[in-house]
Structure 1
């Protein structure tokens, strides 16, 4: 059973399809400018002859950086900037992303090699509960206004621009207005403040001390939401939801 699919970089801008390499667990794929038959040949003068090696495992893969001087970056295209760096000479660095993009710096170019690891294994619990259920780490209601505000803040980075600046409050208002006609700067800012308390980034009004001012509140909210998958790309549907009849 194949568990890893490797998609090479395009050789031309107009190339419609690219040969895929399918690896079963324990199989390896060497890539570089000069590789044995069956390897991934990358014909660029800026790529090492034996640049690296990918090894498939059951539900993940590892990468060895065979370069002596160049760091490689493995990005998570769906992770809003999430990435790992594989240092020169590092062997069998584990990559946990389901969809990955290896970025190879090559004499001024950045060459992408895509790696897909679609196989998932999950624990299947047997029997009934043996005690009280565990309280959720973050309790969010996806039907509430505050979640739509959070989704609007996260949208640019979830849409594939991991380093995009966060929208201003005014931009959030405009984004939410089709589904929330009464949205205003005041109501959006109130929800941002509420989220900061709800996600425990700052103490609530019932606390004895107000605590230090939270600088970069929107950045902190988005960072936490994306890091713990509180908002995913599928959740952006709330931004196009029709207006609700029930007031907040």
Structure 2
């Protein structure tokens, strides 16, 4: 069974794809090989003659960077900016992504080709071996029916939709984005939820704490970075931004002033 599928640059037909079984290797570079079935030709003067090698394993693949000067980047197109850098000369670096984009710096251009590794296996019941006892506490408990999750999804939307380097939206932009599902959203309510998320993610102490700590700069950027790093918001969950959630709006969310937060209840 094939475990890796390589999709060449500008490929439009399935017969142009290269399929590798575990243990098989595909070399790539500028100069065509005597064996065209085992070599992916990238005809660009900025690509090394023997640029690298792709080797299939069972549920992952490895990349060897045979360039002397160029660092290759392997992006996760579904990871909102997640990537791995492969330094010049690095051999058999393991790549864990199910969908990957290999980016090669080539003179004044950036070239890329895709790799699919569909043989990612997951346990049906990860905790089946447990024999009772207290359940494990979730490190970032989120209620996806709450207003704060709408705000978090709006903050993460641009990066999840294919703009991995997009800056977080402003509070006003979040308010505009949420008008459809939260008609009475305001700057005060959105900022309150951002502050609440910062406390929930343990980035700052709650207001009633004796030591609130220093002022947290870059709060939205930190929230987005943490949420995407641990998959707290996924692309499929962005549907909440266009579907009215069955959550009654709380008076406190409309009337709290800037910087004010209730003591215990989540928004």
Shared fold (TM-score greater than 0.5)? yes
2:219 counterpart residue number: 217
- Counterpart of 2:74 in 1: which secondary structure? strand
Counterpart CA distance in 1 for 2:234 and 2:146 is: 16
How far apart are 1:188 and its partner, in Å?
0.4
Give the counterpart of 2:144 among 142, 145, 149: 142
Give the counterpart of 1:131 among 133, 158, 183: 133
CA-atom RMSD in angstroms: 1.5
Gaps of 5+ in 1: none
1:64 counterpart residue number: 64
Q: Which moved more, 1:102-111 or 1:139-148?
A: 102-111
2:264 counterpart residue number: none
Do the aligned partners of 2:29 and 2:47 also contact (CA within 8 Å) in 1? Answer: yes
2:21 counterpart residue number: 24
How far apart are 1:137 and its partner, in Å?
1.1
Counterpart CA distance in 1 for 2:34 and 2:137 is: 53
Counterpart CA distance in 1 for 2:89 and 2:159 is: 32
Change (3 A) 1:243 1:225: closer
Counterpart CA distance in 1 for 2:159 and 2:241 is: 15
How far apart are 1:220 and its partner, in Å?
0.6
Per-residue deviation, residues 52-110 of structure 1 (Å, max 9, x unmatched): 00011111111001111211111111112111111111100111111111111112111
What TM-score results when the alignment is normalised by the length of structure 2? 0.87
Do the aligned partners of 2:79 and 2:228 also contact (CA within 8 Å) in 1? Answer: yes
Gaps of 5+ in 2: 251-267
How far apart are 1:233 and its partner, in Å?
0.3
2:239 counterpart residue number: 237
2:161 counterpart residue number: 159
